[in-house]
Amino acid sequence: MRKPLISTFLFLAVTLVSHAFDDPAPPTVNQLNPIIPNAAEAQSELTFYQAPKLLSPTAISSDWKTFLGPTHNGYSPETNLLKTFPETGPSKVWEVQRGNGYSSAAVIDQRVIIFHRVNDQAIIECLELETGKRYWKHTYPSTYKDRYGFSNGPRCQPISDGTYVYTLGVEAQLHCLELTTGRVLWNRNLKEEFDLTLDFFGVGGAPLLEGNQLIINVGAPEGPSVVAFDKLSGELIWGAGDQWGPSYASPIPANTRNGRRIFVFAGGESRPATGGLIVVDPTTGAEEFSFPWRGGRYESVNASSPIIVDNKIYISECYGAGGVCIEIQEDGSYKEIWRNEILNTHFMTAIHKDGYLYGVDGHGPRNAPIVCIEMETGKLMWKHEPEWMADVESPNGPQSYNLSPALASFIEVDGRCLVLGQYGHLAWLDLKPEGYKELDLTHLFLARQTWAMPALSQGLLIVGQNDEGLDGSSTRFICYDLRANL
């Protein structure tokens, strides 16, 4: 049932709140003298299949070094990609064994950063993009155990400024490493320093790099909710908010009519369940305003990152509150435009295209249709739950499954939408307000929990298989060749 609009035309006064938070434990910065980086070497965990096709000289490409892609919204500028998949699916370039975790890969030029856990060691590795060979590996102890029986490994994608790599582990261990060597510049234990709980599933909101700042929804008790660290020294620059804990959504930057702002969809484990949107001026750490939005259930989470388009902000969750669109006013206040329960995203972030939002509604795996709504009004344009077949050679013989995309990831790229489904399907979709159109479909593998967005760079797609496959395959990162023929 649709909820009544509450305060649809309510204008609130600007709330510029600055908090003074002390840095509990400024880290030691290590002196990294220049050295010659190691050459990439084959490792026992690597299987190399074949070199990718040559990248077209006219192709546009981009690094994948931030969460949700180069513009923080599920878009990629890549061109010259395969328009149809080969009958046997896109070619594998390489694969490497992985341990526990849901972390996506990051791609910076010719280097791939993966983050996972094997036994009681969190592992950060740097691989060569076109071969999978390893440049370096850094490990540190990790003892987290998921109380709901999910993976015990990291959730957050590594991010990079092109010189350093930043990782945030499931136990809130924050590391800054040199990209070319893996040497640690500085590290912090945010759990101990800020007296954090690990909530339902550990730490899961990826950090954001904004200028010289590393911004995290740390969610400390009694604040700060959001922190900015100096990316080179690791020292606290500012803290903002004191009311909400950490969510599983990543902070998103955007330009607004009032300047550059950071949008944080916060809300951790609490009784009663509380959380919402915090809007921060990154130059000062001042909280411009906050907007409560959280499902009422104790078990609810805020996990989809905000979508910002022309001063309008869309946030969504699937535990009761649904979605809401608010607009930033010229005086810095906000006005609520609409709210409904049509597109209730779980932890995937919907994409915006030409005035419409496209995403997966609900928890899944069933009753999780792809939905299109008009951003200006919240009007439902259509919803459709595809049925995708999967044929698998299992240890018990051939098996066929009729599956849905479920908790899928969307990348708008090369004039189409690339969708990675929860069970390993890869599809090209033409998403328009007039309806759903499937352009091509292939099946990569059959495994549950294919939840992390793949990394797309230089025509190569890196997919994380986060669970054992029904064909007996183990967890792994796989690099697929999506380059078009020259």
pLDDT digits (tens, 9 = 90+) for 196-206: 999 999 999 99
Judged against a pLDDT cut of 70, whether residue 80 lies above it is answered with: yes
Judged against a pLDDT cut of 60, whether residue 14 lies above it is answered with: no
Cα distances from 474 to residues 120, 124, 399, 471, in angstroms, run 18, 19, 18, 9
pLDDT grade, residue 18 (50/70/90)?
A: low
pLDDT value of residue 16: 59
pLDDT value of residue 405: 96
pLDDT value of residue 396: 83
The helix/strand/coil state of 324 is strand
Judged against a pLDDT cut of 80, whether residue 13 lies above it is answered with: no
Rounded to an integer, the average pLDDT of 142-152 is 96
The helix/strand/coil state of 190 is helix
Please answer whether residues 448 and 422 qualify as being in contact, where contact means their C-beta atoms are separated by less than 8 angstroms. Answer: yes
CB atoms within 10 A of CB 251: 27
Digit-coded pLDDT (tens) for 343-365? 999 999 999 999 999 999 998 88
The helix/strand/coil state of 308 is strand
Q: Which two tokens stand for residue 254?
A: 């955007």
pLDDT value of residue 321: 97
Rounded Cα–Cα distance for residues 226 and 222 (Å): 11
22 exposure class (CB count in 10 Å sphere: 0-12, 13-18, 19+): exposed
pLDDT value of residue 242: 95
The helix/strand/coil state of 417 is strand
Rounded to an integer, the average pLDDT of 458-470 is 97
% residues pLDDT > 90 (the chain):
92
CB atoms within 10 A of CB 326: 23
pLDDT value of residue 5: 35
* Alpha-carbon dihedral sign for residues 339, 341, 343, 347: positive
Rounded to an integer, the average pLDDT of 223-228 is 98
Report the amino acid identity of residue 116.
H
Digit-coded pLDDT (tens) for 311-346? 999 999 999 999 999 999 999 899 999 999 999 999
pLDDT grade, residue 7 (50/70/90)?
A: very low
Rounded to an integer, the average pLDDT of 21-41 is 98
Please answer whether residues 170 and 144 qualify as being in contact, where contact means their C-beta atoms are separated by less than 8 angstroms. Answer: yes
pLDDT value of residue 365: 84
CB atoms within 10 A of CB 336: 18
% residues pLDDT > 70 (the chain):
96
pLDDT grade, residue 453 (50/70/90)?
A: very high
Return the HEC string of 353-402.
ECCEEEEECCCCCCCCCEEEEECCCCCEEEEECCCEEEEEEECCEEEEEE
Rounded to an integer, the average pLDDT of 105-111 is 98
Q: How far apart are the first and last CA of the chain?
A: 52
C-beta contacts of 119-126 below 8 A and 24+ residues apart: 122/153, 122/154, 122/169, 122/170, 122/173, 123/99, 124/158, 124/165, 124/167, 124/175, 124/177, 124/182, 125/96, 126/165, 126/179, 126/182
CB atoms within 10 A of CB 210: 17
Rounded Cα–Cα distance for residues 318 and 344 (Å): 4
The single-letter DSSP state of residue 100 is B
Judged against a pLDDT cut of 60, whether residue 97 lies above it is answered with: yes
Kindly provide the b/e burial profile for residues 108-120, where b requires at least 16 CB atoms within 10 angstroms of the residue's own CB: beebbbbbbbbee
Phi first, then psi: what are they for 303, rounded to 5°? -135, -15
Digit-coded pLDDT (tens) for 360-409? 999 888 899 999 999 999 999 999 999 999 998 888 889 999 999 999 99
